Amino acid sequence: MAIEVRIPTILRTHTGGAKSVEGAGATLSELLDDLEARHTGLKERIVQNDDLRKFVNVYVNDEDVRFQGGLGAPVTDGDVVTVLPAVAGG
């Protein structure tokens, strides 16, 4: 079993158009490193200066990782990670 990562439309150019990809790791950081090995450029769109980008939200099983330890948030097989760009407007 693996960790499912749901990719927003704007980042699908890095996944060959795939809506979701699978990865492995014990933390979000390890998972992103694993994904980067197969989907070059994806991690830099999510992480900046060793932290999540300000306008990118990441959820593990519908829980915001910013409240779960950020990049150190634990992930396990069977989890669903959702990456969402923040939406702003008026």
d(CA 80, CA 50): 22
d(CA 15, CA 36): 10
For 29-78, the pLDDT digits (tens) are: 999 999 999 999 999 999 999 999 999 999 999 999 999 999 999 999 99
For 56-67, the pLDDT digits (tens) are: 999 999 999 999
